[in-house]
Amino acid sequence: MKKKLKNIFNIMSKKEDKIPVNEDQKENTGADENGVENNSADHSNEEKIKELEIKLAEEKDKFLRLFSEFDNAKKRNQRERVDLLKTAGEDVFKLMLPLIDDFDRALKANETATDLNSVKEGFHLIYNKMKNDFTNKGLEEMKCVGEIFNSDTMEALTSIPGGEELKGKVVEIIEKGYLLNGKVIRFAKVVVGS
C-alpha cells in the first residue's frame, strides 16, 4: 500500500513538473522571475506529503487490524476443529451407554439364572434395542442375498458353482455390510455364484 501511494505521489509530481508555466501562472503559484517557487509552494508540498503519510499510516493500521483479525479467526477455527474431532464420537457413546447397562444387568442375571429361555429372551431384547437405536441414527444393513454382485458395496471372498440362475448373484453373506445415511461404512463380504 505504501509503495502504491508513493507511485501515485511520484506520478503527480512528474505531471506538475511537465506543465508549462507562463508569467500569469508564476505569480499565482508564488514563483519568482527565475522560476523558483517560494516558501508557500514548499509548504503546500509538505502538507501534501504529510496528508499522504497520514493516509498511509491509516491504511497500514487498517491492514494490520484486518490481518490480525483474520489470523485470530484462523486460530479459533483450528481450535474448534480439534475440539470437534475429540468429541466426534460422543453421540455414539451416549447411544451405547444404556446398552452397556443392559448387558451388565443381563450378565448379573445370568449368574443365577436357571431358565435358558429367559436368558435368550433377555439377550434378544438387548440386541433389538441396539439395532433399533442404530437404525434411528441412520445405520442400515445391506440386503445382499439373491442380489446381483455390486463391487461398489460388496467384496467377493470366493465364488461357488451355482447354475445359471445364481451366476453373478450373491449366494451367501460372510460378513454383513452397513450403510450410514446412504454411505457405505463397511463393505459386505459375500460368496458369489459362478
Distance from CA of residue 157 to its chain's centroid? 36
pLDDT on residue 8: 61
- In this structure, are residues 170 and 147 in contact, taking their beta carbons and an 8 Å threshold? yes
Quick check: 74 pLDDT over 90? yes
Quick check: 26 pLDDT over 50? no
The predicted model scores a pTM of: 0.53
Residue with cell 433389538: 128
- In this structure, are residues 115 and 156 in contact, taking their beta carbons and an 8 Å threshold? no
The answer to which of 43-52, 90-99, 139-148, 166-175 has the lowest mean pLDDT is: 90-99
pLDDT digits (tens, 9 = 90+) for 40-57: 777 888 899 999 999 999
Dihedral pair phi/psi, residue 35, rounded to 5°: 85, 10
Q: Which of 135, 137, 140 is nearest to 89 (CA)?
A: 137
Question: When comparing pLDDT for 149 and 91, which is higher?
Answer: 149
Quick check: 21 pLDDT over 80? no
Residues 6+ apart with CB under 8 A from 139: 178, 179, 180
pLDDT digits (tens, 9 = 90+) for 61-71: 999 999 999 99
pLDDT digits (tens, 9 = 90+) for 115-125: 888 888 888 99
